[in-house]
Amino acid sequence: MSNVWNYQSPKHEQILKRDELAQKFGLSPAVCQLMVQRGITTEKDVQQFLNPTLRGLHDPFLFPDMRKAIDRLNEALGNKERIMVYGDYDVDGTTAVALVYKFLAQNTWSSNLEYYIPDRYNEGYGISDRGIDYAHEKGISLIIALDCGIKAVEKIARAKTLGIDFIICDHHKPDEVLPEAVAILDAKRDDSEYPYEHLSGCGVGFKFMQAFAISNDIDFARLRQMLDFVAVSIASDIVPITGENRIMAAYGLKQLTRNPSKGLKGIINICGLSGKEVTISDVVFKIGPRINASGRMMNGVEAVELLLADDTASAKIKSANIDQYNDERRELDKKTTDEAYALIDENPGYENRKILVVCNKEWQKGVIGIVASRLTEKYYKPAIVLTESNGYISGSARSVTGFDIYRAIESCKDILVNFGGHTFAAGITIEEQNLEEFKKRLEAFAEENMLEEQQTPSLDIDLALKFNEINQKLVTDIKKMNPFGPDNLKPTFCTFGVRDAGTSKLVGKELEHIKLDLTDGTTEEPMSAIAFGMHEYNDYIKSGKPFDVCYTIEENTYNGKTSIQLQIKDIRISGGQ
């Protein structure tokens, strides 16, 4: 399925603003154009965007219930109560638990702290009855729930009858009825006036600890050292990298590069990132999956143990274990994905469905979210992958650009046991007897709400460039826009009417990639590019006819020499524009 290119030429007023900013800040006009298109138009906006500072963090006491949360925590510490730090088994949950547990352990005299991660297979997502029973047995009287809890109305009511209080630190959208917790820190509450609502779960934990530090006169520098955990959560949980997230991600990435915690340093070493500048992309594709692998293949407790490691030797051993889990996860991921592909391709009934729902009771729960993502990528349709878990059918959903899969699932909530998530990713639990009804309702929802453009893959292009505009200054200025991620994506460019300079060739073990040397007539030297997996275009390219390219601008280091290289995202045979 070919991509639709979404590109609009800059408007006149944007060009005027671009030129004004370029003159004022000495930046490349292209980068100023990118900022203007992203709503960064004033001198103050540009300063804040290019130089994120911790002074830009909001007052944590603007959260509803923050004062209640701090008072209860201080009371528990003063009374030497037993406190449990409870979090989900994914990257966001485990980093949140590690941050809050570590900060409290280092900055209080309490020896009555422990942490708890529910088992993905035996307990499932969020607050579990088993976790509450364990807390009761251990004499826990306060649970700090991180990255979960906002929908656990019945379980938290039960905990209250056992004398267990909850402080909830969550970032998911609440239902109409809130749990009976002592305090609920969630910027998505209807009554919240907190200025930024897109924090990760670990980010909410960070704000809680920021308020705790303020109330107990603890030097903020002690908390700042833990921003590497927050950066990992922000990247892995795919939250917008704007506002406070941009500030914390920027500082956290510096921490990951220069002085990460020993546990994260162990993962960085095993990923081959040691001595390199760690990026959001490195976290998404290398660090995050290894932390996640613990919860997918074994138990998320091991991930927290690694994140809390305080000596290099134990961090090295634990990192090696988690790396092994990641290798096993990859094998299982491939096997399950191939089975899901076969299920769809061999069943013609899937061809006309707008939402793919596949179920196999033998699939392992730990990889089905990844498989759902693969299905969405291949078929460009929302996908829900299900398996059997604890007597129910349970699984993960992923969506395509513009289609709100959470809202689609929510429309079926009366036949669901449980559900939660975001616009593009969600989880569900359902009784098997309701599965067919669920499929029918989802399809009906999609028929009514899915737009035609949401059924065709598209590429959003920021700017059209001539090759003579691409130089080292542009590359340097683009780097100043880091960190990249949702709502501040790495810029995508296009150039129309390019031709092969005569030296392009197929490369790779199976000659599946094209190493390109391109010309658009504006430079003497050809522009170097790489097109991964696009071998089918080779004959046309070698014919010398014009075509359009869509790409990101990268730096390629080979034999100690660094040069500019375009990474091709798409090729369009149109004869130029």
CB 526 within 8 A of CB 556: no
CATH 3.90.1640.30 fits 60-322, yes or no: yes
pLDDT: is 231 or 323 the higher one? 231
Residue 213 has pLDDT above 90, yes or no: yes
CATH classification for the domain delimited by 347-458, as one of 3.40.640.10, 3.10.310.30, 2.130.10.10, 3.40.50.150: 3.10.310.30
Reported as a pLDDT band with limits 50, 70 and 90, residue 493 is very high
- Which amino acid, 147? D
Structure tokens belonging to residue 299? 């138990």
CB 565 within 8 A of CB 556: yes
Reported as a pLDDT band with limits 50, 70 and 90, residue 123 is confident
Q: Are strands 458-460 and 4-6 parallel, antiparallel or unpaired?
A: parallel
Mean local confidence (pLDDT), 341-353:
91
CATH 2.40.50.460-classified regions of the chain? 462-572
CATH 3.90.1640.30-classified regions of the chain? 60-322
Q: What percent of the chain has pLDDT over 90?
A: 82
pTM of the predicted structure, to 2 decimals: 0.90
Reported as a pLDDT band with limits 50, 70 and 90, residue 16 is very high
Q: What is the DSSP letter of 490?
A: P
Q: What is the pLDDT of residue 401?
A: 86
Reported as a pLDDT band with limits 50, 70 and 90, residue 1 is low
Mean local confidence (pLDDT), 161-174:
95
SS3 of 186, please? coil
30-35: long-range contacts, CB 8 A cutoff, minimum separation 24: 30/463, 30/465, 30/469, 30/474, 30/477, 31/474, 31/477, 31/478, 31/480, 31/481, 33/463, 34/462, 34/463, 34/478, 34/481, 34/491, 35/481
CA atoms within 13 A on the CB side of 83: 25
Reported as a pLDDT band with limits 50, 70 and 90, residue 389 is confident
Cα 257 vs. chain centroid, distance in angstroms?
Answer: 19
End-to-end CA distance of the chain: 22
Q: What is the pLDDT of residue 122?
A: 83
CB 380 within 8 A of CB 457: yes
Fold for the domain defined by 462-572: OB fold (Dihydrolipoamide Acetyltransferase, E2P) (2.40.50)
Residue 577 has pLDDT above 70, yes or no: no
Cα–Cα distance list, 45 to 21, 32, 243, 343, 356 (Å)? 11, 12, 11, 50, 42
CB 113 within 8 A of CB 143: no
CA angle 99, 105, 108 (to 5 degrees): 125
CATH 3.10.310.30-classified regions of the chain? 347-458
Place of tokens 């809890």: 149
Q: What percent of the chain has pLDDT over 70?
A: 99
Q: What is the mean pLDDT of the chain?
A: 93
Q: What is the pLDDT of residue 576?
A: 43
